[in-house]
Structure 1
Amino acid sequence: MAISTGTVDAGGVTIAFRTAGDAGAPPVVLLHGGGSRAATWDAFAMSLAAAGQRAIALDLRGHGGSARTRDYPLAAFRDDVLAAMDALGLGRVSLVGHSLGGHTATLVAQAAPDRVGRLVLEDPPAPSGTAGVRSLPARQLLLPWVGMLVRRGGFDGRALAAAVRQLRAPDPGWWDRVPLITAPTLVIGGGPRSHVSAERLAALARALPDGRLLTIPAGHRVHSTAPAAFQDAVLPFLTTRP
Protein backbone atom coordinates (compact mmCIF):
# COMPACT_ATOMS: atom_id res chain seq x y z
CA MET A 1 0.00 0.00 0.00
CA ALA A 2 1.42 3.39 -0.99
CA ILE A 3 0.65 7.09 -0.94
CA SER A 4 -0.54 8.49 -4.28
CA THR A 5 -0.34 12.17 -5.17
CA GLY A 6 -2.18 14.50 -7.51
CA THR A 7 -3.76 17.92 -7.98
CA VAL A 8 -7.27 19.18 -8.63
CA ASP A 9 -8.70 22.47 -9.83
CA ALA A 10 -10.71 23.77 -6.89
CA GLY A 11 -12.62 26.73 -8.26
CA GLY A 12 -9.61 28.07 -10.13
CA VAL A 13 -7.09 27.30 -7.35
CA THR A 14 -4.79 24.31 -7.77
CA ILE A 15 -4.95 22.09 -4.70
CA ALA A 16 -2.45 19.26 -4.25
CA PHE A 17 -3.41 16.12 -2.39
CA ARG A 18 -2.02 12.84 -1.12
CA THR A 19 -4.23 9.77 -0.81
CA ALA A 20 -4.09 6.22 0.52
CA GLY A 21 -6.66 3.45 0.60
CA ASP A 22 -9.22 1.99 -1.77
CA ALA A 23 -11.11 4.47 -3.91
CA GLY A 24 -14.46 3.04 -2.80
CA ALA A 25 -13.69 3.11 0.94
CA PRO A 26 -15.25 5.70 3.29
CA PRO A 27 -13.35 8.97 2.72
CA VAL A 28 -11.48 10.86 5.43
CA VAL A 29 -10.20 14.33 4.48
CA LEU A 30 -7.13 15.49 6.42
CA LEU A 31 -6.19 19.17 6.80
CA HIS A 32 -2.76 20.20 8.09
CA GLY A 33 -1.82 23.17 10.24
CA GLY A 34 -0.27 26.46 9.19
CA GLY A 35 3.28 26.13 7.88
CA SER A 36 2.88 22.40 7.35
CA ARG A 37 1.74 20.28 4.41
CA ALA A 38 -0.32 17.21 3.56
CA ALA A 39 2.66 14.86 4.03
CA THR A 40 2.45 15.40 7.80
CA TRP A 41 -0.49 12.96 7.69
CA ASP A 42 1.28 10.14 5.81
CA ALA A 43 1.65 7.77 8.77
CA PHE A 44 -1.92 8.35 9.93
CA ALA A 45 -3.19 8.06 6.34
CA MET A 46 -1.62 4.60 6.10
CA SER A 47 -3.29 3.62 9.37
CA LEU A 48 -6.62 4.82 8.00
CA ALA A 49 -6.10 2.80 4.83
CA ALA A 50 -5.27 -0.30 6.87
CA ALA A 51 -8.52 0.24 8.81
CA GLY A 52 -10.56 0.23 5.60
CA GLN A 53 -10.81 3.99 5.08
CA ARG A 54 -9.66 6.19 2.21
CA ALA A 55 -7.43 9.05 3.38
CA ILE A 56 -7.23 12.24 1.31
CA ALA A 57 -4.79 14.83 2.72
CA LEU A 58 -4.97 18.26 1.11
CA ASP A 59 -2.31 20.96 0.90
CA LEU A 60 -4.06 24.18 1.92
CA ARG A 61 -3.63 27.09 -0.47
CA GLY A 62 -0.21 28.65 -0.03
CA HIS A 63 1.26 25.36 1.26
CA GLY A 64 3.09 22.42 -0.28
CA GLY A 65 2.10 21.81 -3.87
CA SER A 66 -1.00 24.01 -3.79
CA ALA A 67 -1.27 27.42 -5.43
CA ARG A 68 0.07 30.61 -3.88
CA THR A 69 -2.61 33.27 -4.08
CA ARG A 70 -2.80 37.01 -3.70
CA ASP A 71 -4.65 36.82 -0.40
CA TYR A 72 -5.62 34.26 2.22
CA PRO A 73 -9.03 34.88 3.80
CA LEU A 74 -10.04 32.09 6.16
CA ALA A 75 -13.20 31.58 4.11
CA ALA A 76 -11.03 30.81 1.07
CA PHE A 77 -9.45 27.83 2.82
CA ARG A 78 -13.00 26.57 3.48
CA ASP A 79 -14.09 27.12 -0.10
CA ASP A 80 -10.98 25.38 -1.44
CA VAL A 81 -11.72 22.29 0.65
CA LEU A 82 -15.33 22.10 -0.51
CA ALA A 83 -14.33 22.65 -4.15
CA ALA A 84 -11.60 20.01 -3.88
CA MET A 85 -14.11 17.57 -2.42
CA ASP A 86 -16.40 18.24 -5.38
CA ALA A 87 -13.54 17.82 -7.86
CA LEU A 88 -12.56 14.50 -6.25
CA GLY A 89 -16.14 13.26 -6.28
CA LEU A 90 -16.43 13.16 -2.49
CA GLY A 91 -19.88 13.54 -1.01
CA ARG A 92 -20.10 13.01 2.75
CA VAL A 93 -16.72 12.67 4.45
CA SER A 94 -15.09 12.44 7.83
CA LEU A 95 -12.96 15.53 8.37
CA VAL A 96 -9.80 15.78 10.49
CA GLY A 97 -8.04 19.11 10.94
CA HIS A 98 -5.02 20.27 12.91
CA SER A 99 -4.53 23.88 14.05
CA LEU A 100 -5.34 26.13 11.06
CA GLY A 101 -6.69 23.03 9.35
CA GLY A 102 -8.90 22.45 12.38
CA HIS A 103 -10.32 25.94 12.15
CA THR A 104 -10.86 25.41 8.43
CA ALA A 105 -12.65 22.15 9.23
CA THR A 106 -15.08 24.01 11.50
CA LEU A 107 -15.84 26.46 8.70
CA VAL A 108 -16.55 23.57 6.32
CA ALA A 109 -18.79 21.84 8.87
CA GLN A 110 -20.67 25.08 9.56
CA ALA A 111 -21.23 25.87 5.89
CA ALA A 112 -22.04 22.34 4.71
CA PRO A 113 -23.05 20.18 7.69
CA ASP A 114 -24.53 17.57 5.37
CA ARG A 115 -21.05 16.94 3.89
CA VAL A 116 -19.37 16.05 7.22
CA GLY A 117 -20.19 12.76 8.95
CA ARG A 118 -17.51 12.83 11.66
CA LEU A 119 -15.25 15.70 12.72
CA VAL A 120 -11.91 15.66 14.56
CA LEU A 121 -10.39 18.97 15.65
CA GLU A 122 -6.78 18.71 16.84
CA ASP A 123 -5.80 21.72 18.96
CA PRO A 124 -7.80 24.19 16.82
CA PRO A 125 -7.36 27.95 17.37
CA ALA A 126 -10.97 28.72 18.24
CA PRO A 127 -11.27 32.51 18.05
CA SER A 128 -12.21 34.86 20.86
CA GLY A 129 -15.76 36.08 21.11
CA THR A 130 -17.59 33.92 23.62
CA ALA A 131 -18.45 34.84 27.18
CA GLY A 132 -15.87 33.75 29.73
CA VAL A 133 -13.17 32.86 27.21
CA ARG A 134 -10.13 35.12 27.18
CA SER A 135 -8.69 36.45 23.94
CA LEU A 136 -5.49 34.69 22.89
CA PRO A 137 -2.54 37.12 22.78
CA ALA A 138 -0.92 37.58 19.41
CA ARG A 139 2.42 36.47 20.90
CA GLN A 140 0.94 33.07 21.76
CA LEU A 141 -0.55 32.72 18.30
CA LEU A 142 2.73 33.60 16.58
CA LEU A 143 5.38 31.83 18.65
CA PRO A 144 4.49 28.23 17.75
CA TRP A 145 4.89 29.09 14.08
CA VAL A 146 8.14 31.08 14.31
CA GLY A 147 10.17 27.87 14.39
CA MET A 148 8.31 26.58 11.36
CA LEU A 149 9.10 29.75 9.47
CA VAL A 150 12.78 29.26 10.24
CA ARG A 151 12.94 25.48 9.66
CA ARG A 152 10.63 24.96 6.72
CA GLY A 153 10.24 26.20 3.22
CA GLY A 154 7.56 25.19 0.82
CA PHE A 155 4.84 27.57 1.94
CA ASP A 156 3.87 31.22 1.67
CA GLY A 157 4.53 33.02 4.94
CA ARG A 158 1.76 35.46 4.09
CA ALA A 159 -0.74 32.65 4.61
CA LEU A 160 0.30 32.33 8.27
CA ALA A 161 0.37 36.07 8.83
CA ALA A 162 -3.11 36.41 7.35
CA ALA A 163 -4.47 33.57 9.51
CA VAL A 164 -3.07 35.08 12.71
CA ARG A 165 -4.42 38.52 11.81
CA GLN A 166 -7.91 37.17 11.13
CA LEU A 167 -8.02 35.02 14.25
CA ARG A 168 -7.09 38.10 16.28
CA ALA A 169 -10.06 39.96 14.76
CA PRO A 170 -12.42 37.05 14.24
CA ASP A 171 -15.76 36.75 12.53
CA PRO A 172 -18.21 37.64 15.34
CA GLY A 173 -20.66 35.05 14.03
CA TRP A 174 -18.28 32.07 14.26
CA TRP A 175 -19.41 31.00 17.73
CA ASP A 176 -23.05 31.55 16.75
CA ARG A 177 -22.57 29.05 13.91
CA VAL A 178 -20.93 26.34 16.02
CA PRO A 179 -24.36 24.77 16.76
CA LEU A 180 -24.80 24.30 12.99
CA ILE A 181 -22.13 21.58 13.15
CA THR A 182 -24.20 18.41 13.27
CA ALA A 183 -21.39 15.85 13.03
CA PRO A 184 -20.23 14.02 16.15
CA THR A 185 -17.04 15.89 16.98
CA LEU A 186 -13.89 14.91 18.87
CA VAL A 187 -11.87 17.90 20.09
CA ILE A 188 -8.29 16.94 20.97
CA GLY A 189 -6.20 19.27 23.10
CA GLY A 190 -2.44 19.10 23.50
CA GLY A 191 -2.46 19.87 27.21
CA PRO A 192 -0.19 22.32 29.07
CA ARG A 193 2.60 22.07 26.48
CA SER A 194 0.30 23.59 23.85
CA HIS A 195 -0.32 27.31 23.33
CA VAL A 196 -4.05 26.63 22.81
CA SER A 197 -5.81 26.88 26.17
CA ALA A 198 -7.82 24.02 27.62
CA GLU A 199 -10.40 26.64 28.61
CA ARG A 200 -11.05 27.58 25.01
CA LEU A 201 -11.22 23.99 23.78
CA ALA A 202 -13.61 23.07 26.59
CA ALA A 203 -15.85 25.98 25.58
CA LEU A 204 -15.84 24.72 22.01
CA ALA A 205 -16.70 21.16 23.03
CA ARG A 206 -19.59 22.45 25.15
CA ALA A 207 -20.93 24.59 22.31
CA LEU A 208 -21.01 21.70 19.85
CA PRO A 209 -24.29 19.77 19.66
CA ASP A 210 -22.37 16.46 19.85
CA GLY A 211 -18.91 17.34 21.07
CA ARG A 212 -16.44 15.64 23.35
CA LEU A 213 -13.03 16.78 24.58
CA LEU A 214 -9.93 14.61 24.95
CA THR A 215 -6.57 15.86 26.19
CA ILE A 216 -3.37 14.16 25.04
CA PRO A 217 -0.55 16.06 26.79
CA ALA A 218 1.85 16.07 23.86
CA GLY A 219 1.84 19.73 22.83
CA HIS A 220 0.27 21.41 19.83
CA ARG A 221 1.23 18.80 17.19
CA VAL A 222 -0.36 15.75 18.81
CA HIS A 223 -0.51 13.62 15.66
CA SER A 224 3.26 14.08 15.18
CA THR A 225 4.54 14.00 18.77
CA ALA A 226 2.20 11.28 20.08
CA PRO A 227 1.13 9.39 16.94
CA ALA A 228 0.15 6.17 18.72
CA ALA A 229 -2.08 7.98 21.23
CA PHE A 230 -3.61 10.08 18.44
CA GLN A 231 -4.32 6.99 16.35
CA ASP A 232 -5.77 5.11 19.33
CA ALA A 233 -8.19 7.97 19.97
CA VAL A 234 -9.13 8.92 16.43
CA LEU A 235 -9.34 5.62 14.52
CA PRO A 236 -12.14 4.15 16.69
CA PHE A 237 -13.98 7.46 16.63
CA LEU A 238 -13.94 7.53 12.82
CA THR A 239 -14.60 3.85 12.16
CA THR A 240 -17.12 2.88 14.86
CA ARG A 241 -20.73 3.58 14.01
CA PRO A 242 -23.70 3.54 16.39
Structure 2
Amino acid sequence: MSENGTQTVNTGGIRLSYRSWGEGDGVPVVLLHCLGEDGEDWRGPLISALAGEHPVHALDLRGHGESDWPGSYAMDDFVGDLRGFLDELGIGRAILVGHSFGSFVAYLFAQQHPGRVDRLVLEETGAMRPVRPPQEVPEPPPGTPAFDWEVKVQWTRQRNDPDPRWWERLEAVTAPTLLVGGGDGSHLPQEDLRLMAERMPDARVLTIDGAGHLVHEARPMEFTRAVLDFLKES
Protein backbone atom coordinates (compact mmCIF):
# COMPACT_ATOMS: atom_id res chain seq x y z
CA MET A 1 0.00 0.00 0.00
CA SER A 2 1.36 3.42 -0.94
CA GLU A 3 1.62 6.45 1.34
CA ASN A 4 -1.61 7.69 -0.33
CA GLY A 5 -3.48 4.55 0.72
CA THR A 6 -3.55 3.05 -2.77
CA GLN A 7 -2.89 -0.53 -3.78
CA THR A 8 -1.92 -1.84 -7.20
CA VAL A 9 -2.58 -4.78 -9.47
CA ASN A 10 -0.93 -5.67 -12.76
CA THR A 11 -3.02 -6.83 -15.66
CA GLY A 12 -2.18 -7.03 -19.34
CA GLY A 13 1.16 -5.37 -18.67
CA ILE A 14 -0.52 -2.34 -17.07
CA ARG A 15 -0.25 -1.31 -13.42
CA LEU A 16 -3.57 -0.13 -12.05
CA SER A 17 -3.95 1.75 -8.78
CA TYR A 18 -7.03 1.56 -6.59
CA ARG A 19 -8.41 2.32 -3.12
CA SER A 20 -10.57 -0.03 -1.08
CA TRP A 21 -13.03 0.30 1.78
CA GLY A 22 -15.43 -2.01 3.58
CA GLU A 23 -15.40 -5.66 4.50
CA GLY A 24 -19.07 -6.53 4.11
CA ASP A 25 -20.23 -9.66 2.31
CA GLY A 26 -22.39 -7.79 -0.22
CA VAL A 27 -21.67 -7.68 -3.93
CA PRO A 28 -18.43 -5.72 -4.50
CA VAL A 29 -18.85 -2.18 -5.83
CA VAL A 30 -16.37 -0.70 -8.31
CA LEU A 31 -16.37 3.08 -8.81
CA LEU A 32 -15.16 4.52 -12.13
CA HIS A 33 -14.28 8.22 -12.25
CA CYS A 34 -14.69 10.81 -15.00
CA LEU A 35 -12.06 12.06 -17.43
CA GLY A 36 -9.18 13.85 -15.72
CA GLU A 37 -9.97 12.65 -12.19
CA ASP A 38 -8.96 9.55 -10.24
CA GLY A 39 -10.40 7.30 -7.54
CA GLU A 40 -10.10 10.03 -4.92
CA ASP A 41 -12.96 11.83 -6.64
CA TRP A 42 -15.41 9.39 -5.06
CA ARG A 43 -14.36 9.89 -1.46
CA GLY A 44 -17.42 11.06 0.48
CA PRO A 45 -20.84 9.94 1.69
CA LEU A 46 -21.39 7.36 -1.06
CA ILE A 47 -18.38 5.31 0.05
CA SER A 48 -19.32 5.70 3.71
CA ALA A 49 -22.82 4.47 3.00
CA LEU A 50 -21.79 1.53 0.82
CA ALA A 51 -18.81 0.27 2.82
CA GLY A 52 -20.94 -1.01 5.69
CA GLU A 53 -22.34 -3.78 3.50
CA HIS A 54 -20.10 -3.98 0.42
CA PRO A 55 -16.42 -4.12 -0.41
CA VAL A 56 -15.87 -0.86 -2.34
CA HIS A 57 -13.04 -0.24 -4.81
CA ALA A 58 -12.28 3.07 -6.55
CA LEU A 59 -10.04 2.49 -9.54
CA ASP A 60 -7.63 4.93 -11.19
CA LEU A 61 -8.27 4.34 -14.88
CA ARG A 62 -5.21 4.05 -17.12
CA GLY A 63 -3.71 7.43 -17.89
CA HIS A 64 -5.00 8.80 -14.59
CA GLY A 65 -3.80 9.12 -11.02
CA GLU A 66 -1.23 6.56 -9.93
CA SER A 67 -2.08 4.03 -12.66
CA ASP A 68 0.22 3.66 -15.66
CA TRP A 69 0.06 6.17 -18.51
CA PRO A 70 0.79 3.84 -21.44
CA GLY A 71 -0.30 6.15 -24.28
CA SER A 72 -2.90 3.72 -25.68
CA TYR A 73 -6.44 4.74 -24.79
CA ALA A 74 -8.92 2.89 -26.97
CA MET A 75 -12.15 2.15 -25.14
CA ASP A 76 -11.38 -1.56 -25.50
CA ASP A 77 -8.22 -0.89 -23.46
CA PHE A 78 -10.28 0.48 -20.58
CA VAL A 79 -12.78 -2.38 -20.78
CA GLY A 80 -9.93 -4.89 -20.78
CA ASP A 81 -8.35 -3.19 -17.77
CA LEU A 82 -11.61 -3.45 -15.84
CA ARG A 83 -11.94 -7.13 -16.69
CA GLY A 84 -8.35 -7.75 -15.59
CA PHE A 85 -8.88 -5.75 -12.39
CA LEU A 86 -11.90 -7.85 -11.43
CA ASP A 87 -10.00 -11.03 -12.25
CA GLU A 88 -7.02 -10.01 -10.12
CA LEU A 89 -9.26 -9.26 -7.14
CA GLY A 90 -11.22 -12.47 -7.63
CA ILE A 91 -14.49 -10.62 -8.27
CA GLY A 92 -16.91 -12.63 -10.38
CA ARG A 93 -19.80 -10.15 -10.38
CA ALA A 94 -19.70 -6.50 -9.41
CA ILE A 95 -21.89 -3.46 -9.06
CA LEU A 96 -20.43 -0.79 -11.35
CA VAL A 97 -20.92 2.92 -10.65
CA GLY A 98 -19.49 5.20 -13.32
CA HIS A 99 -19.45 8.96 -13.76
CA SER A 100 -19.26 10.50 -17.25
CA PHE A 101 -16.23 8.91 -18.95
CA GLY A 102 -16.25 6.17 -16.31
CA SER A 103 -19.89 5.45 -17.15
CA PHE A 104 -18.94 4.75 -20.77
CA VAL A 105 -16.35 2.25 -19.58
CA ALA A 106 -18.97 0.69 -17.30
CA TYR A 107 -21.66 0.19 -19.90
CA LEU A 108 -19.30 -0.99 -22.61
CA PHE A 109 -18.02 -3.57 -20.12
CA ALA A 110 -21.62 -4.54 -19.32
CA GLN A 111 -22.28 -5.06 -23.04
CA GLN A 112 -19.34 -7.40 -23.43
CA HIS A 113 -19.58 -9.16 -20.06
CA PRO A 114 -23.24 -9.05 -18.97
CA GLY A 115 -22.80 -11.96 -16.60
CA ARG A 116 -20.23 -10.08 -14.56
CA VAL A 117 -22.39 -7.03 -13.78
CA ASP A 118 -24.89 -7.29 -10.95
CA ARG A 119 -26.18 -3.71 -11.18
CA LEU A 120 -25.14 -0.63 -13.08
CA VAL A 121 -25.30 3.06 -12.10
CA LEU A 122 -24.49 5.55 -14.87
CA GLU A 123 -24.10 9.13 -13.67
CA GLU A 124 -24.30 11.78 -16.39
CA THR A 125 -23.64 9.34 -19.20
CA GLY A 126 -24.21 9.85 -22.91
CA ALA A 127 -25.31 7.99 -26.01
CA MET A 128 -22.36 6.83 -28.10
CA ARG A 129 -23.55 8.10 -31.44
CA PRO A 130 -21.64 10.28 -33.92
CA VAL A 131 -21.17 13.89 -32.80
CA ARG A 132 -22.14 16.46 -35.44
CA PRO A 133 -20.48 18.83 -35.81
CA PRO A 134 -17.51 16.90 -34.39
CA GLN A 135 -15.67 18.20 -31.38
CA GLU A 136 -12.22 19.57 -32.06
CA VAL A 137 -9.28 17.54 -30.82
CA PRO A 138 -8.03 19.76 -28.00
CA GLU A 139 -4.57 21.17 -27.51
CA PRO A 140 -3.01 20.48 -24.12
CA PRO A 141 -3.38 23.21 -21.52
CA PRO A 142 -0.34 25.08 -20.25
CA GLY A 143 1.60 23.46 -17.46
CA THR A 144 1.50 19.83 -16.43
CA PRO A 145 -1.96 18.23 -16.52
CA ALA A 146 -3.00 15.91 -13.71
CA PHE A 147 -3.61 13.11 -16.21
CA ASP A 148 -2.22 12.01 -19.57
CA TRP A 149 -3.63 14.53 -22.06
CA GLU A 150 -3.47 11.86 -24.74
CA VAL A 151 -6.52 10.28 -23.07
CA LYS A 152 -8.50 13.41 -23.93
CA VAL A 153 -7.17 13.44 -27.49
CA GLN A 154 -8.01 9.80 -28.21
CA TRP A 155 -11.34 10.00 -26.40
CA THR A 156 -12.44 12.99 -28.49
CA ARG A 157 -11.76 11.06 -31.69
CA GLN A 158 -13.65 8.02 -30.45
CA ARG A 159 -16.53 10.14 -29.18
CA ASN A 160 -16.87 11.91 -32.53
CA ASP A 161 -17.05 8.65 -34.51
CA PRO A 162 -17.89 5.86 -32.10
CA ASP A 163 -18.09 2.22 -33.02
CA PRO A 164 -21.77 1.79 -34.02
CA ARG A 165 -21.93 -1.39 -31.99
CA TRP A 166 -21.63 0.64 -28.79
CA TRP A 167 -25.11 2.05 -29.45
CA GLU A 168 -26.57 -1.06 -31.06
CA ARG A 169 -25.53 -3.32 -28.20
CA LEU A 170 -27.20 -1.36 -25.41
CA GLU A 171 -29.86 -4.06 -25.36
CA ALA A 172 -27.10 -6.50 -24.33
CA VAL A 173 -26.85 -4.66 -20.98
CA THR A 174 -29.01 -7.03 -18.98
CA ALA A 175 -28.14 -5.80 -15.47
CA PRO A 176 -30.68 -3.54 -13.77
CA THR A 177 -29.49 -0.04 -14.61
CA LEU A 178 -30.03 3.39 -13.08
CA LEU A 179 -29.15 6.40 -15.24
CA VAL A 180 -28.73 9.54 -13.16
CA GLY A 181 -28.92 12.93 -14.86
CA GLY A 182 -28.08 16.34 -13.49
CA GLY A 183 -30.83 18.17 -15.36
CA ASP A 184 -30.38 21.92 -15.74
CA GLY A 185 -26.74 22.91 -15.74
CA SER A 186 -25.46 19.76 -17.39
CA HIS A 187 -23.68 20.15 -20.71
CA LEU A 188 -24.87 16.70 -21.81
CA PRO A 189 -28.18 16.19 -23.64
CA GLN A 190 -30.49 14.84 -20.96
CA GLU A 191 -32.64 13.25 -23.67
CA ASP A 192 -29.78 10.81 -24.25
CA LEU A 193 -30.45 9.15 -20.92
CA ARG A 194 -34.06 8.42 -21.85
CA LEU A 195 -33.08 7.11 -25.28
CA MET A 196 -30.47 4.83 -23.74
CA ALA A 197 -32.86 3.53 -21.09
CA GLU A 198 -35.39 2.65 -23.78
CA ARG A 199 -32.84 0.38 -25.46
CA MET A 200 -31.85 -1.44 -22.27
CA PRO A 201 -33.97 -4.33 -21.01
CA ASP A 202 -34.12 -3.13 -17.38
CA ALA A 203 -33.27 0.56 -17.01
CA ARG A 204 -34.76 3.76 -15.69
CA VAL A 205 -33.76 7.41 -15.45
CA LEU A 206 -33.59 9.56 -12.34
CA THR A 207 -32.97 13.29 -12.70
CA ILE A 208 -31.57 15.32 -9.82
CA ASP A 209 -32.51 18.63 -11.34
CA GLY A 210 -30.07 21.49 -10.99
CA ALA A 211 -27.16 19.23 -10.02
CA GLY A 212 -25.39 19.72 -13.34
CA HIS A 213 -22.71 17.35 -14.58
CA LEU A 214 -21.07 16.66 -11.21
CA VAL A 215 -24.08 15.14 -9.51
CA HIS A 216 -22.26 13.17 -6.81
CA GLU A 217 -20.27 16.28 -5.86
CA ALA A 218 -22.98 18.93 -6.16
CA ARG A 219 -25.73 16.89 -4.47
CA PRO A 220 -23.87 14.11 -2.62
CA MET A 221 -26.63 13.11 -0.23
CA GLU A 222 -29.30 12.93 -2.91
CA PHE A 223 -27.02 10.92 -5.17
CA THR A 224 -26.11 8.56 -2.34
CA ARG A 225 -29.76 8.02 -1.43
CA ALA A 226 -30.62 7.32 -5.07
CA VAL A 227 -27.88 4.70 -5.34
CA LEU A 228 -28.79 3.03 -2.03
CA ASP A 229 -32.48 2.88 -2.90
CA PHE A 230 -31.65 1.39 -6.28
CA LEU A 231 -29.41 -1.29 -4.79
CA LYS A 232 -32.13 -2.29 -2.32
CA GLU A 233 -34.72 -2.85 -5.05
CA SER A 234 -35.63 -6.48 -5.64
Q: TM-score under structure 1 normalisation?
A: 0.88
- Superposition CA RMSD, Å: 2.1
Could you say which residue in structure 1 is the equivalent of 2:197? 205
Shift of 1:152: 8.3
Is 2:152 the partner of 1:160? yes
Offset of residue 73 of structure 1: 0.4
Tell me if structure 1 keeps the 8 A contact 2:124–2:188. Answer: yes
Measured after TM superposition, the shift of residue 24 of structure 1 is 3.9
Q: Which runs of no fewer than 5 residues in structure 1 stay unpaired?
A: none
Which among 201, 206, 211 is matched to residue 214 of structure 1?
206
> Secondary structure at the residue paired with 1:204?
helix
- In structure 2, stretches of 5+ residues that fail to align are none
Q: Which one-letter code corresponds to 1:34 in the other structure? A: L
Question: 1:45 Cα deviation (Å)?
Answer: 1.6
Hey, which bits of structure 1, 4+ residues long, moved more than 4 A?
134-137, 149-152
Any idea what the Cα deviations from partners look like across 1:27-64, whole Å, max 9, x if unmatched?
001000000110111112222113x1111110000000
- 8 Å contact 2:63–2:71 — kept in the other structure? no
* Contact 2:39–2:58 (8 Å) recurs in 1: yes
1:227 matched to 2:224: no
DSSP-derived class of the 2:70 partner: coil
Q: Contact 1:205–1:211 (CA<8 Å) still a contact in 2?
A: yes
**Alpha-carbon displacement from aligned partner over 1:188-242 (angstroms, at most 9, x marks no partner):** 111121111111111001111001001112111101111011001011212x142
What SS class does the counterpart of residue 184 from structure 2 fall into? helix
Q: Which has the higher helix share?
A: 1
What is the alpha-carbon distance in structure 2 between the residues aligned to residue 35 and residue 198 of structure 1? 22
User: Does the 8 A contact of 2:11 with 2:81 survive in 1?
Assistant: yes
**Residue 181 (structure 2) aligned to one of 174, 189, 195:** 189
Cα separation, partners in 2 of 1:232 and 1:23, compared to 1, 3 Å? closer
1:18 aligns with 2:19: yes
Contact 2:71–2:150 (8 Å) recurs in 1: no
Percent identity for Structure 1 against Structure 2: 42
Structure 1 pair 167–85 and aligned structure 2 pair: CA distance change class (3 A): same
Candidates 158, 166, 176, aligned match of 1:174? 166
Q: Deviations over 1:74-115 (max 9, x none)?
A: 111111011001001111010000011000001110010000
In 2, the alpha carbon distance for the partners of 1:104 and 1:155 equals: 17
The TM-score with structure 2 as length reference comes to 0.91
> Residues 37-52 of structure 1: matches in 2 within 5 Å?
37-43=38-44, 44-50=46-52, 52=53
Structure 2 CA distance for aligned equivalents of residues 237 and 214 of structure 1: 10
* 2:144 equivalent to 1:106: no
